[in-house]
Chains A and B, each alone.
Chain A
Amino acid sequence: MAPPAQSHRSPSPSQPSGKGEVSDLKTQLRQLAGSRAPGTDDTKRELFKKVISYMTIGIDVSSVFSEMVMCSATSDIVLKKMCYLYVGNYAKHNPDLALLTINFLQRDCKDEDPMIRGLALRSLCSLGVANLVEYLVGPLGNGLKDGNSYVRMVAAVGVLKLYHLSASTCLDADFPPLLKQLMLKDKDAQVVANCLTSLQEIWSLEASTSEEAARERETLLSKPVVYYFLNRMKEFSEWAQCIVLELVSKYVPVDSEEIFDIMNLLEDRLHHANGAVVLATIKVFLHMTLSMTDVHQQVYERIKAPLLTLVSSGSPEQSYAVLSHLHLLVMRAPYIFSSDYKHFYCQYNEPFYVKKLKLDMLTAVANESNTYEIVTELCEYVANVDIPMARESIRAVGKIALQQYDVNAIVDRLLQFLEMEKEHVTAETLVLVKDLLRKYPQWSHDCIAVVGNISSKNVQEPKAKAALIWMLGEYAQDMQDSPYILEGLVENWDEENSAEVRLHLLTAVMKCFLRRAPETQKALGDALAAGVADFHQDVHDRALLYYRLLKYDVSVAERIVNPPKQAVSVFADTQSSEMKDRIFDEFNSLSVVYQKPSYMFTDKEHRGPFAFSEELGSLSIGTEPSDGAVAAQRVEANDKDLLLGTSEKEESHGYGNNGSAYNAPSYDASTTAGASQGHFDLVSIDQPSTLHPPSSFAIDDLLGLGMPAAPSSAPPALLLNAKATIDPNAFQQKWRQLPVSLSQETSIDPQGVAGMTNPQALPQHMQGHSINCIASGGQAPNFKFFFFAQKAEGSSAYLVECVINSSSCKVQLKIKTDDQATSQAFSELFQSALSKFGST
């Protein structure tokens, strides 16, 4: 048995050290145990209180266990409760002692006072001792049939507790069917709600091993059950309503009539004062209308006002939770709040976490008509004494500028920031001006005139300094002092702590030299010498590279270091649309606050009852590669300034046409991959191998085994490699890189659906058609599969995401391939294979 998991933290001086006091208590309790003198209960109360207060502050009082049990023979309910609390806390780690309590708990379970029956049953089930489960079955069974709703309520949760202690005992006693009966007929709404939560948890956990449990879990989502809950909605407490609404959001109505009925029924829940109820209702509305574009828009209009009321009526913490959801919605439908932008103006007394979200909202709702006012407001915050707020506001202005609204005016404002002569404002603005110039080179004249006036001595933050240096190099011929400023910076090489800045300095001096050689020669020499001697590996390598390039051929050096650049049209989006969809699926959960799908922050066993199980999770988006080495590279690549990453991206892009090794992927295809792609020395080496999965041996195999792959009826022209293989990491990478070539909806044979209770059935079937399952997951009614197939001749690969809804028999396909010409043929082949599933 594990030792008690009490935290033995050293008590602060104000708190008793424990030992002496505990043994004192022990003696006193012992004296009281047998006493029947009047007033004993009061003395006991005081002692019990002391014990519990020690327990609370983390002192181990398990040594008085037997004394506590001895004193528990009382009719005083307050005493009983304290005793139950104590026992519940220590029984798990003192199973022998726990046995002592069974007697009096079982006796109390038969007390005539329902309150005592309930309390005792709750404590009995909370002991958490696996050896004692046999003592639970009887009282639990009686509890479920008890005439008092309080006892039934406790028993319904008790069944779940028993299940976690010993699943087999719980199932053998047939408790789940009993719960189901109770759920569908009990008069007390809280009993019903507890039955539902217990059943959801039990059947979800069982579903992976038992077909029956999977079916039972599906029946919770069946029309009769969902309607039963909907009809009793008003009886439930607000918290139980949240649980029911979550269930309803998973229900798939048959037709639009049904959808409208449900929405009309739930309409008044939008006016509930409890934000959790409102958000749960909104989830139902949004998910049900997903396929009905018009109605979906109406829903957005409808939920606007209630959401804004929640933002302003609750505590800042509650506003934060609601604002996170608003942000998610506004990313999907920016127009919905575009005329309500003033709601997102920051109030001076709000905590930073709320202000930050409001700034995000302001950048998201900015459009042609409101940009001027929003930016004016943001400029007020920039002048704010609150420095983090000022920085965030500048970033917000920059983001709006990059969205292409009213750029002209915004550039003026940004340049005014530089004139404010506040260090943090200057630093933040420089970084932005750099990004703006990369997107709008036409503004370079105005910007450079102002930037040129900034003394590099006033810029200390590495990011800002790097940005300034980049501009000095990039616009060397327009900035008169550029070589001299750079020279000054090179002179102070040793004092520059940031490797990032030194890297930029090298590149900037190079660029400057290529344009204004005579003035820069000395600085370049010094910089290369200092760079080669630098202790930082990257700086050293880059200096050496430049040195050798120059030695080899200056014109080649120019083409590499300073090629003509194209303006950046879109900056890499950090989140794929798929990831955003997945977060939207998990509306009203932490995923929205963290802006991550749940598989990225929860363990598998803690995912919700109906969530996808996630082998495919890491696969489909996989921002965190499982391979440690790759992860390390990623981190490094991300650590580099975006500026570095992207400027080199441009360079390598420009040069890639020559067919050299720098064939980094083109910009459009790389939008999801972020910074990692720009880092050419890492990626360009990896990529050829992953872009073209090894296929030579597969072709050899085909000679012998290729034929079974061909479907017998109406054979499509396309033949697949029966033994195509790909490792999940490569699949994942490829899935990210390729655009969707085909997206289709189809249906599956209901008989096939019946076969899906065995998770291996479909993958095996598809394998017979030379389509291999890479990952699968999900729970009824939604299953998700990733398939991979390869053309028999040549290396073209097909990647398929296949989502099957087993209750509606609908299938959604997303096919990606590097051979667009055959994607339609492949899709037909895939669907014909799928349609045979279940019919054989």
Chain B
Amino acid sequence: MISQFFVLSQRGDNIVFRDYRRDVQKGSAEIFFRKVKFWKEDGKEEAPPVFNLDGVNYFHVKVVGLLFVATTRTNLSPSLALELLQRIARAIKDYLGVLNEESMRKNFVLVYELLDEVIDFGYVQTTSTEVLKSYVFNEPIVIDAARLPTLGPAALFMQGNKRMPGTAVTKSVVANEPGGRKREEIFVDIIEKISVTFSSSGYVLTSEIDGTIQMKSYLSGNPEIRLALNDDLHIGRGSVPSFGYSRSSGTGAVILDDCNFHESVHMDSFDVDRTLSLVPPDGEFPVMNYRITQEFKPPFTINTLIEEAGSLKAEVILKIRAEFPSSVTANTILIEMPLPTYTTRVNFDLERGIVGQNADFKESQKKLEWNIKKIVGGSEHTLRAKLNFSQELHGNITKEAGPVSLTFTIPMYNPSRLQVKYLQIAKKSKTANPYRWVRYVTQANSYVARI
């Protein structure tokens, strides 16, 4: 059972603090924060999400820079506690629209209301936004989403100038729109995080897709929804060992290694027509998580060339090529590469005519950073960097630098080819046809090219 729950700001201030069992001392938040902050003297190692201090077990997760913490003296399931903390964060976000320190502080009474219903005397009662709705009476004070930095979740789905209704992601499930009417709409997002490691010769060493079909419903009356996926979807790779690259990519079937589903999902007809049916609860939730190790075409290839130029100089040439169709554009690409520790100065030679790109040498971290705002499918970009060293090179420079890592977001593109073929809403009235948004996005999780 949970003894206490609290949320701390980045500076360690209590935003909310709830004691359920009174068997852990009140100063636990402070004790916790000091421990986490000074976990290792050099500050290089992060505190693990679970630790024990004087008989008290502390669990924490980091969400948007805030620390969500639970304490207990019992031998609780760590998965349960950590999952619970994530869910509490999600429920709060559903209510407040935006989850951050400001919105939490403005709405802390509402948050207390939620916490009272989520946990009673240390036992979890419910985390479902839907169920909580009938117990919670405070109106959220919605903070102005427009003031959020554009890199927030809303920007995720922007494809060129076609602006997706990004505000939806920051809309509270309970607050009314200006004008008092609620807009009937539902969002289904297929989010794929991809991890790829290239060997120094450019081969794919490992690759994996971690996907989620996320749903956020603002439909009134809880209608049933049917979600049809690809006909050729298969679950389980059978006896084929994972990562066993075969020539199977030609068949076109989408093979999931494994997947799991939200509670509300019924799979009665899944085996027949690959359709999931569910009555979506309020709030944001993952309909399905899936994992794919089947071979796929990596969206970017990276080519790194390092040439020594004299004993105190070297030149690095980075080439990045977008391997996706030209109708698709990747956003906010960041390419990073650690350089030898004795690098003192770097001169960059950027290609001309490309808007919004810049390169920088972060001296304190001895790291090269190359930002590109947009990359259109099929294009190729090159960066030349001239390195100056403070000491003579000995041995192999490739052992002192790299690997090159990439982060990026590609809207309306998913490498797994998993699709939502249709989204059917059981209609109650013939009047308004709810808005349906099915959106795809791919993000780099760990995208690394060794040199």
Given A56-B108, A239-B124, A313-B210, are A321 and B49 neighbors across the interface (CB < 8 Å)? yes
**Residue of A with least CB distance to B17:** A56
* Docked CA distance A78–B114 (Å): 12
* Docked CA distance A343–B50 (Å): 23
**Residue of A with least CB distance to B111:** A56
* Docked CA distance A306–B135 (Å): 34
Report the minimal beta-carbon distance from B349 to chain A, rounded to whole angstroms: 24
* Docked CA distance A274–B290 (Å): 13
Are A342's CB and B243's CB within 8 A? yes
Give the residues in chain A near B289, CB-CB below 8 Å.
273, 309, 313
Q: Which of B80-88, B150-158, B377-385 lies on the face that meets chain A?
A: B80-88
* Docked CA distance A277–B51 (Å): 22
Report the minimal beta-carbon distance from A486 to chain B, rounded to whole angstroms: 28
Give the residues in chain B near A345, CB-CB below 8 Å.
197, 206
Are A589's CB and B395's CB within 8 A? no
B185 on interface, CB distance cutoff 8 Å: no
Are A608's CB and B74's CB within 8 A? yes
Query: Among residues 2 to 16 in chain B, which have CB atoms less than 8 Å away from a CB atom of chain A?
Result: 13-16
A-B Cβ contacts below 8 A, count: 247
Are B120's CB and A602's CB within 8 A? no
Report the minimal beta-carbon distance from B160 to chain A, rounded to whole angstroms: 27
* Docked CA distance A412–B291 (Å): 37
**Residue of B with least CB distance to A49:** B109
Q: Which of B25-33, B309-317, B421-429 lies on the face that meets chain A?
A: B25-33
Give the residues in chain B near A48, CB-CB below 8 Å.
109
Which of A237, A305, A316, A347 is within 8 Å of B236, CB to CB? A305
Q: Which of B55-63, B164-172, B319-327 lies on the face that meets chain A?
A: B55-63
Give the residues in chain B near A309, CB-CB below 8 Å.
257-260, 289-291
Which of B61, B259, B366 is within 8 Å of A315, CB to CB? B61
Are B79's CB and A588's CB within 8 A? yes
Interface residue tally on A, bucketed by range: 35 or more
B450 on interface, CB distance cutoff 8 Å: yes
B123 on interface, CB distance cutoff 8 Å: yes
A278 on interface, CB distance cutoff 8 Å: yes
Are B446's CB and A276's CB within 8 A? no
* Docked CA distance A589–B403 (Å): 37
Give the residues in chain B near A594, CB-CB below 8 Å.
52
B399 on interface, CB distance cutoff 8 Å: yes
B242 on interface, CB distance cutoff 8 Å: yes
Report the minimal beta-carbon distance from B114 to chain A, rounded to whole angstroms: 11
* Docked CA distance A611–B76 (Å): 12
Given A7-B27, A306-B258, are A383 and B73 neighbors across the interface (CB < 8 Å)? no
Contact with B along A263-297 (1 / 0, CB 8 A): 00000000111111011100000000000000000
Looking at A85, A317, A348, the one whose CB has the most chain B CB atoms below 10 A away is: A317
**Residue of B with least CB distance to A313:** B289
Give the residues in chain B near A347, CB-CB below 8 Å.
195, 445-446, 448
* Docked CA distance A29–B123 (Å): 34
Are A351's CB and B78's CB within 8 A? no
B183 on interface, CB distance cutoff 8 Å: no
Give the residues in chain B near A243, CB-CB below 8 Å.
123
Q: Which of B40-48, B350-358, B430-438 lies on the face that meets chain A?
A: B40-48
Report the minimal beta-carbon distance from B126 to chain A, rounded to whole angstroms: 6
* Docked CA distance A788–B385 (Å): 76
Query: Among residues 393 to 432 in chain B, which have CB atoms less than 8 Å away from a CB atom of chain A?
Result: 394-395, 399, 403, 405
* Docked CA distance A692–B381 (Å): 79
Are A58's CB and B14's CB within 8 A? yes
Report the minimal beta-carbon distance from A717 to chain B, rounded to whole angstroms: 46
Query: Among residues 26 to 64 in chain A, which have CB atoms less than 8 Å away from a CB atom of chain B?
Result: 48-49, 52-53, 56-58
Are B446's CB and A12's CB within 8 A? no
Are B75's CB and A190's CB within 8 A? no
Give the residues in chain A near B236, CB-CB below 8 Å.
305
B231 on interface, CB distance cutoff 8 Å: no
Report the minimal beta-carbon distance from B88 to chain A, rounded to whole angstroms: 12
B121 on interface, CB distance cutoff 8 Å: yes
Given A317-B61, A602-B75, are A385 and B446 neighbors across the interface (CB < 8 Å)? no
Report the minimal beta-carbon distance from B53 to chain A, rounded to whole angstroms: 10
A5 on interface, CB distance cutoff 8 Å: yes
* Docked CA distance A386–B450 (Å): 15
A242 on interface, CB distance cutoff 8 Å: yes
Contact residues of A: prevailing secondary structure: helix
Looking at B47, B85, B208, B260, the one whose CB has the most chain A CB atoms below 10 A away is: B260
* Docked CA distance A9–B52 (Å): 23
A160 on interface, CB distance cutoff 8 Å: yes
Give the residues in chain B near A115, CB-CB below 8 Å.
134-135
Are A279's CB and B77's CB within 8 A? yes
Looking at B25, B48, B126, the one whose CB has the most chain A CB atoms below 10 A away is: B48
Which of A57, A273, A276, A607 is within 8 Å of B13, CB to CB? A57
Which of B19, B74, B79, B210 is within 8 Å of A321, CB to CB? B79
Give the residues in chain A near B25, CB-CB below 8 Å.
5
B392 on interface, CB distance cutoff 8 Å: no
Are A340's CB and B446's CB within 8 A? no
A823 on interface, CB distance cutoff 8 Å: no
B138 on interface, CB distance cutoff 8 Å: yes
Report the minimal beta-carbon distance from B167 to chain A, rounded to whole angstroms: 25
Are A589's CB and B109's CB within 8 A? no
B223 on interface, CB distance cutoff 8 Å: no
Given A276-B77, A347-B445, are A7 and B123 neighbors across the interface (CB < 8 Å)? no
Query: Among residues 139 to 185 in chain A, which have CB atoms less than 8 Å away from a CB atom of chain B?
Result: 150, 153-154, 157, 160-161
Are B257's CB and A5's CB within 8 A? no
Which of A15, A239, A273, A606 is within 8 Å of B286, CB to CB? A273
Are A273's CB and B80's CB within 8 A? no
Are B137's CB and A602's CB within 8 A? no
B113 on interface, CB distance cutoff 8 Å: yes
Are A276's CB and B80's CB within 8 A? yes
A352 on interface, CB distance cutoff 8 Å: yes
A367 on interface, CB distance cutoff 8 Å: no
B177 on interface, CB distance cutoff 8 Å: no
Report the minimal beta-carbon distance from B330 to chain A, rounded to whole angstroms: 18
* Docked CA distance A349–B445 (Å): 8
Are B44's CB and A12's CB within 8 A? no
**Residue of A with least CB distance to B87:** A274
Query: Among residues 344 to 384 in chain A, which have CB atoms less than 8 Å away from a CB atom of chain B?
Result: 345, 347-353, 380, 383
* Docked CA distance A589–B72 (Å): 12
* Docked CA distance A128–B121 (Å): 12
Report the minimal beta-carbon distance from B135 to chain A, rounded to whole angstroms: 7
* Docked CA distance A64–B199 (Å): 67
B241 on interface, CB distance cutoff 8 Å: yes
Query: Among residues 165 to 197 in chain B, which have CB atoms less than 8 Å away from a CB atom of chain A?
Result: 195, 197
Report the minimal beta-carbon distance from A809 to chain B, rounded to whole angstroms: 28
Give the residues in chain A near B197, CB-CB below 8 Å.
345
Give the residues in chain B near A81, CB-CB below 8 Å.
112-113, 116, 137
**Residue of A with least CB distance to B105:** A53
Looking at B19, B79, B109, the one whose CB has the most chain A CB atoms below 10 A away is: B79
* Docked CA distance A350–B195 (Å): 12
Give the residues in chain A near B135, CB-CB below 8 Å.
115, 150
A747 on interface, CB distance cutoff 8 Å: no
* Docked CA distance A556–B292 (Å): 67
* Docked CA distance A586–B75 (Å): 9
* Docked CA distance A329–B336 (Å): 37
Contact with A along B119-142 (1 / 0, CB 8 A): 011011111100000110110000
6 tightest Cβ-Cβ pairs between the two chains A and B: A347-B446, A276-B80, A305-B258, A317-B49, A239-B124, A313-B289
Q: Assuming A419-B395, A421-B395, A592-B78, what are 19 further A-B pairs, CB within 8 angstroms?
A: A6-B26, A78-B138, A89-B19, A190-B125, A242-B77, A275-B83, A276-B77, A309-B291, A312-B210, A313-B212, A313-B291, A315-B82, A321-B78, A322-B79, A340-B243, A342-B206, A588-B79, A591-B75, A602-B74
Pick 24 A–B contacts, CB within 8 A, sort by A: A5-B25, A7-B27, A52-B109, A81-B116, A82-B112, A85-B112, A276-B84, A278-B79, A280-B77, A305-B236, A309-B290, A314-B86, A340-B243, A342-B242, A353-B49, A388-B44, A388-B45, A586-B75, A589-B76, A590-B50, A592-B78, A593-B48, A606-B73, A608-B74
